[in-house]
Amino acid sequence: MAFFALNNVTKAFGGLVAVKEVSYEITQGQIAAMIGPNGAGKSTAFNLVTGLYVPTSGEVEFEGQPIGGKKPDYVCKLGIARTFQNIRLFAFMTAVENVMAGRHVRMGAMLWDSLLHTPKQRAEERGVREKAMELLRFVDLERHADDYAHNLPYGFQRRLEIARALASDPKLLLLDEPAAGMNPREKEDLMKLIRAIRDRGTTVFLIEHDMGLVMNISEKIAVLDHGEKIAEGTPVEIRADARVIEAYLGKSA
């Protein structure tokens, strides 16, 4: 049983086939990547995993359970969290409040507990804040806990979004172009953070255009081109694959 798998997954939007019969398995504890030129279908694949899109055919499986077409909140409760290519923070909430919001799927207080501020609700909120602060320390943003998200530098916002995703205690973390807009130092720090996330027991699946980062951090890579998987393997294998070179550089190269 694969920890996570795309099994012959296809997604069509009318006559446009964005993802065509893609299969890809990830083992628990791996750092895996999916790469490809712009428009290759990578983000569509992520959206199929997290319930934003329903597969036209094929199946998405997580820990042996079919999840294709399940709602995003259900997928998150199972243990899959993600970040987005375009940062989606709550701009006018503080950093710690943003991370606390990511914990909502693990919270058990009912509406009346919140309205009446019951001991259960107060204890749970204290626990959620403590968890959020622990995650801010983990991503090195503890000193910015009370800063509004929109006031943070771009690289810090990326880290904050990762901390918010981690707040749901995911078993599988999907990172959609986490290095986008980062300078070389920030990318080095990001690679260390991704390895630290894996070392905490979370499997990582990322989409990324920065080939240096992908080749340095990934243990397994799938390559998409025009919605189809054209290669799969280790960084060494992918780097030498003629189909991958053609997809990125053109046939004459």
* Residue-range domains of the chain with CATH: 4-249 (3.40.50.300)
Mean pLDDT of 200-214: 93
Check whether 46 has a pLDDT greater than 90.
Answer: yes
| Token code pair at residue 48 | 């199929």
Where residue 169 falls (left for φ over 0; alpha for ψ -120 to 50; beta otherwise) is left
Tens digits of residue pLDDT in 101-121: 998 876 655 554 555 567 766
Residue 211 CB burial class (10 angstroms; 0-12, 13-18, ≥19): middle
Check whether 62 has a pLDDT greater than 50.
Answer: yes
**Distance separating alpha carbons of residues 139 and 133, to the nearest angstrom:** 10
Percent of the chain residues topping a pLDDT of 90: 74
Q: pLDDT tier at 152 (50, 70, 90 boundaries)?
A: very high
Q: What is the pLDDT of residue 200?
A: 94
Task: Give the single-character DSSP code of 33.
Answer: E
